[in-house]
């Protein structure tokens, strides 16, 4: 994999404080990116190979957002997260392996009419202060999410290094679970739209409890 790229535009770029900006997007169900988190992606479709090539030639930024359905092109949820390509590996057949680093959430203002094979939107970034460190969870809330995560993992038969989990800070713990948990797109969307880490942690506990109880009842999942 290539060396990390130097970000040509700082994370506090005034562009993120303007009400509207053009943003190239990658709609992908179930794939959440959060500020200060990473998301590895294997890019193989021609339109998204074009998206990566375009981003690399400009500012290395891609907006990750979930589609609302399976139609083509699918409607989009309103909120996603813009990421910076921190690592890129260009494969001989034109595919890419990339690593996105989350910068800030965005809201879609409108979709733009474009000639590119990938979609672009007008986005605004002024609803959040995602560049600021998250407030820590209350101790009881931290204990609750760790406890429910253990129950959820045990019910699903997941092998987890709980000593490593205990060393995560609150933001990494909550957002890490939100990224990998097998919830449906609507639940995932609620997680990314949560106002803060405490609200996201409360939602995670509810979703994990619901999924675990559903498994106990009929083998179902929150999907």
- Determine the pLDDT at residue 179: 96
- The answer to the question of residue 3 being in a domain is no
Q: What is the mean pLDDT of each run of 10 residues along the chain (223 residues)?
A: 39 52 95 97 98 96 94 94 97 97 97 97 93 92 96 92 95 96 95 97 96 69 45
Same domain, 152 and 214: yes
pTM exceeding 0.95: no
Beta-carbon contacts of 66 under 8 Å, excluding residues fewer than 6 positions away, are: 27, 28, 29, 30, 31, 32, 76, 77, 80, 185, 188, 189
Structural domain that includes position 208:
139-218
90: domain CATH number is: 2.30.130.40
Q: In this structure, what token pair is assigned to residue 111?
A: 């979709």
* Sign of the torsion angle spanned by Cα atoms 211, 216, 217, 223: positive
Count CA atoms closer than 13 A to 138's CA, side-chain side.
Answer: 6
- Determine the pLDDT at residue 8: 37
Same domain, 105 and 148: no
CB 193 within 8 A of CB 156: no
CB 97 within 8 A of CB 42: yes
- Choose the final residue of a domain: 124, 159, 194: 124
Domain count, the chain: 2
């Amino acid at each position: 994999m290539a060396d990390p790229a130097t970000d040509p535009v700082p994370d506090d770029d005034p562009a993120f404080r303007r009400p509207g900006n053009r943003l190239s997007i990658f709609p992908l169900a179930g794939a959440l990116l959060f500020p200060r988190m990473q998301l590895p992606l294997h890019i193989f479709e021609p339109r998204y190979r074009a998206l990566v090539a375009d981003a690399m030639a400009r500012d290395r930024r891609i907006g990750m957002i979930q589609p609302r359905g399976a139609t083509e092109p699918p409607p989009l949820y309103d909120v996603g997260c813009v990421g910076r390509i921190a690592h890129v590996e260009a494969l001989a057949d034109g595919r890419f392996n990339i690593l996105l680093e989350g910068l800030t959430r965005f809201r879609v203002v409108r979709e733009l009419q474009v000639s590119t094979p990938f979609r672009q939107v007008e986005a605004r970034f002024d609803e959040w202060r995602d560049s600021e460190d998250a407030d820590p969870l209350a101790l009881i809330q931290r204990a609750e999410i760790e406890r429910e995560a253990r129950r959820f993992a045990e019910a699903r038969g997941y092998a987890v290094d709980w000593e490593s989990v205990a060393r995560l800070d609150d933001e990494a713990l909550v957002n890490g679970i939100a990224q990998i948990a097998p919830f449906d797109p609507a639940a995932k969307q609620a997680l990314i739209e949560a106002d803060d880490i405490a609200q996201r942690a409360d939602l995670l506990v509810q979703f994990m409890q619901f999924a675990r109880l559903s498994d106990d009842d009929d083998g179902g999942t929150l999907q």
